[in-house]
Amino acid sequence: MPSRLCVLRAIAAADSHAPRVYVHREQVLVRFGARGDDGRMRRTVIAGGPIITMDAEYGDLPGGAVLVEGDRIAAVARSADEFAGVDAEFIDAAGGCVLPGLIDTHRHTWMALLRGISADQSLLEFLATTFYGIGSIMQADDLAAAATVGALEALDSGVTTILDCCDCVNSPDHARAGVEALRAAGIRSVYAYGMQEYAVQPPAFTAHEQRVADASALHAEYFSGEHPLSRMGMLYSDFGTVRFEATATEIRTARDLGLLGASHTGAATGSILLRGLRELHDRDLLLPGHLHIHCPALNDQEWKLLADTGGKVTIAPETEMQMGMGHPPFRAALDHGLAPAISTDIVCVREQLAASPYPALPGNPIRRAILRTRREVL
């Protein structure tokens, strides 16, 4: 498997001179139908850019090529010449790099329509105005549109798998709209049913037990069998914001259904909320595979508990630093033998790029794109 340094070098090389190609959505998402108009299996060869296979046998292939048949990778070659006689469409990836789809281990697609809205907000401001404020008025159709945009946005940036943390399950219709939108978009996903309660009027769930029961019903309706691209998870209520027994019920339900469990853990330095790992462990509720999101506020004892129980960690540096949650805890995770993932979280803070010094550099493509968009609007 190539080192992280190798991957970063390849990406840097793609950025240095030519525009980033990676392979455009128009070329792949649209053209990679399993069959052409004539019903024949479609073949495509991608060549011209360095290939990062993430495979120990192949390694990195500076001049390699990938043959795709239908919706499957049929072969990887060290040279495009090996596919010279193949009847296929050739895509030139010069100036970019070809690599497996990226995995985003923490993304809230329901906020995909709110780009930049929280660029200058602290964590408390974000929770009050965006997370709970807008979340409480989201309709099922709104969520379906947001999940669709969020999934396509991920695909367009090379992310082919996401853990969709859908906090905003204001009704059973919201949950089903989210699942169906992800499946229609064609992205590989884990739909994490959110247990968080919003001040919806009138409320579709009048008791916590009803929300838990609906999660079980959704699993029976959509996930009772194997689906090629989607599975179900559960995003627990933020620890400390609900009764402990409610949290325990959520974790036990996820365990019994075989769901991936996730929580925003230790996400606010200086706060007693989103903690409680010792209490969970004492009651056998800190389970292997539990995905802990953010974690900047955890102490050494909590990190040890997380590691000893087989927990996983994903870090979202942009939101953690911009909203003042705390320093992204990469060092703490590594010191405890964990391999932290990096996640997008939300796009609500992305417009911060427009106000940062970086886009002001001469010739910066981000600045050009921002200015062009603003001129079009004005």
What pLDDT is recorded for position 247? 97
Name the percent of the chain lying above pLDDT 70.
82
Taking residues 202-210, what's their average pLDDT? Answer: 96
Q: Phi and psi at residue 51, in whole multiples of 5°?
A: -105, 125
Question: How far is the C-alpha of 196 from the C-alpha of 177, rounded, in Å?
Answer: 17
pLDDT bucket at 300, cuts 50 / 70 / 90: very high
Same domain for 123 and 165: yes
Query: Is residue 255 within 8 Å of 261, Cβ to Cβ?
Result: yes
Taking residues 8-31, what's their average pLDDT? Answer: 37
What pLDDT is recorded for position 350? 64
Taking residues 209-226, what's their average pLDDT? Answer: 97
The CATH number of residue 80's host domain is: 2.30.40
**Cis-peptide into 365, omega within 30 deg:** no
pLDDT bucket at 269, cuts 50 / 70 / 90: confident
Q: Phi and psi at residue 95, in whole multiples of 5°?
A: 90, -5
Same domain for 326 and 307: yes
Last residue of a domain, one of 92, 121, 154: 92
pTM: 0.81
* pLDDT greater than 90 at residue 121: no
Asked if residue 200 is part of any domain, the answer here is yes
What pLDDT is recorded for position 28? 40
What pLDDT is recorded for position 212? 98
Asked if residue 356 is part of any domain, the answer here is no
Same domain for 257 and 195: yes
The CATH number of residue 330's host domain is: 3.20.20.140
Same domain for 240 and 118: yes
**31-81 residue pLDDT tens:** 344 555 555 678 999 999 999 999 898 899 998 999 999 888 999 999 989
Same domain for 60 and 179: no
Last residue of a domain, one of 92, 124, 153: 92
Same domain for 143 and 82: no
Overall number of domains in the chain: 2
Name the percent of the chain lying above pLDDT 90.
69
Asked if residue 240 is part of any domain, the answer here is yes
**142-153 residue pLDDT tens:** 999 999 999 999
Q: List Cβ neighbours of 112 (8 Å cut-off, separation of 6 or more).
A: 146, 147, 149, 150, 153, 347
**168-178 residue pLDDT tens:** 999 999 999 99
What pLDDT is recorded for position 15? 39
* Structure token pair of residue 300: 């050494």
Same domain for 149 and 50: no
Question: How far is the C-alpha of 109 from the C-alpha of 127, rounded, in Å?
Answer: 16
Taking residues 155-172, what's their average pLDDT? Answer: 96
What's the per-residue H, E or C state across the chain?
CCCHHHHHHHHHHHHHCCCCCCCCHHHHCCCCCCECCCCCECEEEEECCCEECCCCCCCEECCCEEEEECCEEEEEECCHHHHCCCCCEEEECCCCCECCCEEEEEECHHHHHHCCCCCCCCHHHHHHHHHCCCHHHCCHHHHHHHHHHHHHHHHHCCEEEEEEEECCCCCHHHHHHHHHHHHHHCCEEEEEEECCCCCCCCCCCCCHHHHHHHHHHHHHHHCCCCCCCEEEEEECCCCCCCCHHHHHHHHHHHHHHCCEEEEEECCCCCCCCCCCHHHHHHCCCCCCCCEEEECCCCCHHHHHHHHHCCCEEEECHHHHHHCCCCCCCHHHHHHCCCCCEECCECCCCHHHHHHCCHHHCCCCHHHHHHHHHHHHHC
* pLDDT greater than 60 at residue 118: yes
Strand partners, 46: 66, 91
Asked if residue 374 is part of any domain, the answer here is no
Strand partners, 293: 264, 314
What pLDDT is recorded for position 283? 96
pLDDT bucket at 29, cuts 50 / 70 / 90: very low
Same domain for 333 and 289: yes
Last residue of a domain, one of 34, 63, 92: 92
Question: How far is the C-alpha of 377 from the C-alpha of 8, rounded, in Å?
Answer: 35
Average pLDDT in the chain? 85
* Structure token pair of residue 255: 């365990």
Same domain for 76 and 115: no
Question: How far is the C-alpha of 152 from the C-alpha of 41, rounded, in Å?
Answer: 24
**Residue 167 CB-half CA count within 13 A:** 22
**349-376 residue pLDDT tens:** 864 454 554 444 455 554 444 444 434 4
Domain containing residue 120: 102-347
